[in-house]
């Protein structure tokens, strides 16, 4: 077995990559990661230099791990700016750093893969050793693995990586027959709130349409991108992604995409885009022309819940942040990241920081759970 470092996914056979990545998690698919590169959203110029690691035996791909050399921490959703500042104060360089993550995507999932007949621990150990050796050779400060699937958490811990915890809010389908069945599990106040929010959509003359990605026209993609970009421009920043990315995905992954449009008097006024996994819907991008009462909740949450129930999906991951989701039945879940810090002094300091932060995160998660709107006995009347 040997390690290969490649600077473009185009250097890998798509079928070999996808055979390892599997079908369940759309963001590790060859088509998604390649679209990021070929559109220019991910490149050395944007501070995301692809440096993917492969483990090969002759022509056989035994293992792979997406890897980027980062010159900043933007687009990651696991914030380490304090670590970078501490390095700077001591006259050390925190950047460049290694990152194993899905760019701009704070969704838990597989971060490294191996063939079924291979020893996963051995494969990952080879890749991690390669990262450490490259760090020593090229003066790279650290390696960070963001939002790994929980099934590989013990492997990451066993290799003495530092584990960081955070909290997101996800919705779980508990065998609901329809949206009203879900509402019946909520207390009276929150049930009435959601019904009122959904009612206000019609009262404002708004109509919601769900369109499968393969059925979205070129002009509709243009409309969606305008809304997506507007979300960033309103905050005085530039969008991470560009029209070429979405156009390529529409062609190569249309069956994994769900687009929700909001219309008023036949005109598009907002849109939300999600990705479809084997058992999970991933809410990702949203934008609108102007603010309408409860439109964000309808387009980004309730339409997604409807879709999960109708199609038997077990889980709705609507992205990072959003305490307002709790009142709408989204439960606090722990997300993780794993970190290797080359400098032993900083590694010790960060370990101390993470131990304290973990207590705060666990207390926050427990407190958030007390605000969930579910009845104690979901089938009891109020």
Residue 62 in tokens: 């035994």
> Of 141, 156, 160, which is closest to residue 342 (Cα–Cα)?
141
Contact 127, 53 (CB under 8 A): yes
CATH code assigned at 227: 3.40.630.30
Structural domain contains residue 18: yes
Domain identity same for 280 and 337: no
Domain identity same for 158 and 181: no
Instruction: Write out the DSSP string of 39-91.
Output: TTSSSTTTTEEE-EEEEEETTEEEEEE--EEESS-TT-SS--HHHHHHHHHTT
Domain identity same for 134 and 210: no
The one-character DSSP state at 250 is H
Domain identity same for 15 and 40: yes
Q: Which of 313, 342, 361 is the last residue of a domain?
A: 313
Phi, then psi, of 334 in degrees rounded to 5:
-85, 130
Q: How much is the pLDDT for 243?
A: 96
- The overall longest dimension of the chain from CA atoms, in Å, is 66
Query: What's the length of the chain?
Result: 382
Positions of the chain with pLDDT lower than 50, given as ranges: 378-380
Under DSSP, is residue 297 helix (H, G, I), strand (E, B) or coil?
Answer: helix
Residue 301 in tokens: 């949450």
Give the separation between CA 19 and CA 73, rounded to whole angstroms. Answer: 30
Domain identity same for 63 and 113: yes
Peptide bond into 358 cis (omega under 30): no
Report the DSSP beta bridge partners of residue 169.
Answer: 332
Q: How much is the pLDDT for 382?
A: 52
Structural domain contains residue 319: no
Long-range contacts of 178-181 (CB under 8 A, 24+ apart): 178/309, 179/302, 179/305, 179/306, 179/309, 181/309
Structural domain contains residue 8: yes
Domain identity same for 199 and 118: no
Structural domain contains residue 80: yes
CA quadruple 157, 162, 320, 43: dihedral positive or negative?
A: negative
Give the separation between CA 345 and CA 348, rounded to whole angstroms. Answer: 5
What's the Cα-to-Cα distance from 180 to each of 185, 194, 303, rounded to whole Å? 9, 11, 13
Structural domain contains residue 326: no
Contact 87, 141 (CB under 8 A): yes
Nearby residues of 313 by Cβ (< 8 Å), 6 or more positions away = 173, 276, 277, 279, 280, 281, 307
Domain identity same for 8 and 94: yes
Structural domain contains residue 323: no
- Please tell me the total count of domains within the chain: 2
Looking at the chain, the number of H-run helices and the number of E-run strands are 12, 15
Contact 279, 315 (CB under 8 A): yes
Q: What integer best gives the mean pLDDT of the chain?
A: 96
Domain identity same for 110 and 158: yes
Give the separation between CA 140 and CA 132, rounded to whole angstroms. Answer: 9
Domain identity same for 145 and 50: yes
> Sheet containing 60-65: which strands, arranged edge to edge?
2-6, 52-57, 60-65, 113-114
Domain identity same for 217 and 158: no
Long-range contacts of 245-249 (CB under 8 A, 24+ apart): 245/35, 245/36, 245/39, 245/41, 246/221, 247/218, 247/221, 248/31, 248/34, 248/35, 248/38, 248/39, 249/31, 249/32, 249/35, 249/213
Parent domain of 115:
2-166+333-369
Judge residue 178's burial from the number of C-beta atoms within 10 Å of its C-beta, 0-12 exposed, 13-18 middle, 19 or more buried: exposed
Contact 1, 56 (CB under 8 A): yes
| Distance from the Cα of residue 313 to its chain's centroid | 17
Residue 258 in tokens: 């769900």
């Amino acid at each position: 077995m040997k390690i290969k470092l490649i600077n473009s996914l185009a250097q890998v056979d798509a079928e070999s990559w996808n055979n390892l990545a599997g079908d369940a998690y759309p963001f590790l698919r060859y088509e998604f990661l390649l679209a990021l590169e070929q559109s220019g959203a991910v490149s050395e110029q944007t501070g995301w230099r692809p440096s993917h690691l492969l483990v090969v035996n002759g022509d056989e791909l035994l293992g792979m791990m997406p890897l980027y050399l980062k010159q900043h921490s933007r687009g990651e959703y696991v914030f380490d700016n304090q670590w970078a500042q501490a390095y700077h104060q001591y006259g050390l360089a925190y950047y460049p750093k290694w990152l194993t993550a899905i760019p701009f995507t704070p969704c838990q999932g597989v971060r490294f893969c191996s063939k079924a007949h291979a020893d996963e621990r051995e494969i990952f150990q080879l890749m991690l050793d390669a990262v450490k050796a490259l760090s020593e050779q090229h003066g790279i400060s650290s390696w960070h693995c963001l939002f790994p699937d929980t099934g590989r958490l013990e492997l990451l811990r066993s290799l003495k990586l530092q584990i960081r915890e955070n909290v997101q809010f996800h919705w779980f389908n508990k065998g609901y027959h329809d949206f009203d069945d879900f509402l019946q599990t909520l207390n009276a106040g929150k049930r009435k709130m959601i019904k009122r929010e959904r009612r206000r959509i019609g009262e404002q003359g708004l109509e919601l349409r769900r369109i499968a990605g393969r059925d979205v026209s070129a002009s509709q993609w243009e409309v969606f991108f305008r809304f997506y970009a507007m979300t960033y421009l309103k905050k005085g920043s530039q969008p991470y992604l560009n029209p070429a990315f979405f156009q390529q995905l529409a062609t190569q992954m249309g069956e994994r995409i769900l687009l929700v449009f909001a219309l008023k008097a036949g005109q598009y006024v907002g849109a939300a885009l999600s990705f479809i996994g084997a058992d999970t819907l991933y809410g990702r991008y949203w934008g609108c022309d102007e603010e309408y009462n409860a439109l964000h909740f309808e387009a980004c949450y309730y339409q997604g819940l409807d879709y999960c129930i109708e199609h038997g999906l077990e889980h709705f991951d609507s992205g990072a942040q959003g305490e307002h989701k709790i009142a709408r039945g989204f439960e606090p879940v722990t997300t993780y990241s794993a970190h290797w810090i080359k400098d032993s002094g900083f590694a010790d300091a960060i370990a101390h920081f993470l131990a304290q932060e973990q207590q705060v995160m666990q207390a926050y998660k427990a407190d958030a759970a007390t605000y969930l709107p579910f009845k104690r006995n979901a089938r009891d009347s109020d």
